[in-house]
Structure 1
Amino acid sequence: MSNNATESSGGVQSVDRALTILEVLARRGELGVTEVAAEFGVHKSTAFRLISTLEGHRLVEQAGERGKYRLGIGLLRLAGATTARLDVVQEARPISKRLAADTGETVNVAVLSESSALYLDQVAGSSAIQTHNWVGQHIPLHATSNGKVLLSGVPDDQLDDVLHELPAFTGLTVTKRSALRHELEVVREQGYAVAVDELEEGLTAIAAPVRNAHGDVIASISVSGPTFRLDEAKTKEVIPRLLDAAVEISHRLGWGHR
């Protein structure tokens, strides 16, 4: 076996052991390094290294008794993020169905995921004969209406941390940061984003922000379809319906008052 293969195997084994430590802690509450070493039949230094790595990510923390460890608050953060996404999908689904029925086009719900937009849910409208299923896929932020809405919720001084390269997908893709920043200002002012032929030629999408109880942009909802159908006139018809849907979902998540 090559050195690379050996290192890869060892890495997978370490990940497996680390995850098992979390499972054991979930069952038993607290464990010391000696107990972890005995559980896996490894040297105490190996057990300590695994626990230290988990502690560095706040997945475990030291208990009151010296030398004992328990599950950390980092797990709550991960669980909270998952719960929040599930809440968005649950609250948005009936409204997405109604919006898809009213417009005849495909409705998508997306969230920011590091440097891309992650599609959480999709409802096909009656006009969509055969639509691509985007659920679970990551799409570029700068070339999509959902992405621009999600970026509009990122503070200006943090945009460079989220945005890296701005590749061109069509001749209409925005590839200059200055132009994109200007577009985001417009999105914030008007409350929605439109992308025409920017990710794919012949594809138009309009998106609006979904907010949480604090008013933060936590997701986006979009209506998309062929550019020949979602022309300027149809887009103007869709925008108020889309905005109403985004506001209704936001209200369901605790934003504002009716």
Structure 2
Amino acid sequence: MDSSSEASSMAQGLGIVRLVANREKCGRQLLGVSQLASELDMEQSRVSRLTKELCELGLLERVERGPFRTGPRFFGLAAALNTGWVRESRSELEALVASFGLRSRVSVREGFRVILLRASSNDAVPGSFVKPGMVTPVWCTGSGRALLWDDQQPAVRALLQGVNFIGVGGPGAAHSPQEVAELLDRDRARGFIVAEEEFEHGVYELAVPVRGAEGSILAALSVLGSRAEINSNTNDIARALTAAAERLRSHEGRDRDAGRKGLAS
């Protein structure tokens, strides 16, 4: 699958999730595969495949062969968007836009997939697939490798064992777990991720991990632009990303402290 067809699948998958969530929210009758296909004017076989993947991600769920409803991962993402550090990420993303004119994103990891939590205001146009919940591969995105920052080669190989690398990503994409691990080793030496046309042709991505108060990786903060835009200002962008990630870490720490105080009261 090339990047354009994967983008199409993501857009259609998000359309399915939105339809299911909206019907559930409004108390309307829930739908099965054939009804979803009719509502969205899609082939039934495609809806069947996409809903299966969405159920595997936990964004949808289905009891036996009944109608679809929103799954636990959907609510987890919704809850995450209400935490303080994710709310604060909006202003951090827009500050990066103001400073560098680049698209910026905050993402989290689910297995070997990267899930977009929030994107900057300049990162999408009407009808774009760039929306919260968008799924991309962990092995050929800057945000993905930032989320794998703490994983050593054996863990990377175990995570990506059995993944089909063929036809996914841009011309710079890795084609094996070993290549992903080697790129990580290279990136750690300079302190940040640079992904050169790894997911999309002509798109460079610079990324850093966002850590929680206790040190574990919560998310990835990234910017995307052309080769000239990234390479002309790499060190300044990296410093700005790292500073923003530290500010988000401090917000997460305050969230954690507030939660503990609430439990103690």
TM-score by length of 2: 0.60
Report the number of matched residues.
189
Residue pairs, 1:206-245, within 5 angstroms: 206-230=206-230, 232-245=231-244
Higher relative contact order (CA 8 A, sep 6+): 2
Report how far residue 173 of structure 1 moved. Answer: 1.3
Instruction: Tell me which amino acid in the other structure corresponds to 1:148.
Output: R
Answer yes or no: is 1:92 the counterpart of 2:115: no
Whether the 8 Å contact between 1:91 and 1:253 is mirrored in structure 2 is no
Superposed CA deviations along residues 43-74 of structure 1, whole A, max 9, x for unmatched, are xxxxxxxxxxxxxxxxxxxxxxxxxxxxxxxx
Tell which deviates more after alignment, 130-139 or 100-109. Answer: 130-139
Equivalent of 1:119, from 116, 119, 125? 116
Q: What corresponds to 2:44 in structure 1?
A: none
Closer, same or farther in 2 for the Cα pair 1:84/1:191, shift >3 Å?
farther
Whether the 8 Å contact between 2:124 and 2:130 is mirrored in structure 1 is no
Closer, same or farther in 2 for the Cα pair 1:95/1:170, shift >3 Å?
closer
**What residue ranges of structure 1 are gaps of 5+ in the alignment?**
20-74
Instruction: Tell me which amino acid in the other structure corresponds to 2:253.
Output: G
Measure, in 1, the Cα distance between the counterparts of 2:232 and 2:221: 20
Report how far residue 193 of structure 1 moved. Answer: 0.4
Secondary structure of 1:188's aligned partner: helix
Closer, same or farther in 2 for the Cα pair 1:14/1:94, shift >3 Å?
closer
Tell which deviates more after alignment, 241-250 or 131-140. Answer: 131-140
Superposed CA deviations along residues 144-195 of structure 1, whole A, max 9, x for unmatched, are 1101101123454432443223235233212132222122123334331011
Closer, same or farther in 2 for the Cα pair 1:160/1:107, shift >3 Å?
same
Measure, in 1, the Cα distance between the counterparts of 2:63 and 2:247: 50
TM-score by length of 1: 0.62
Q: CA RMSD in A?
A: 3.4
Measure, in 2, the Cα distance between the counterparts of 1:86 and 1:187: 31
**What residue ranges of structure 2 are gaps of 5+ in the alignment?**
1-33, 35-47, 49-61, 255-265
Equivalent of 1:134, from 121, 130, 133? 130
Whether the 8 Å contact between 1:203 and 1:225 is mirrored in structure 2 is yes
Measure, in 1, the Cα distance between the counterparts of 2:113 and 2:148: 10
Q: What corresponds to 1:150 in structure 2?
A: 147
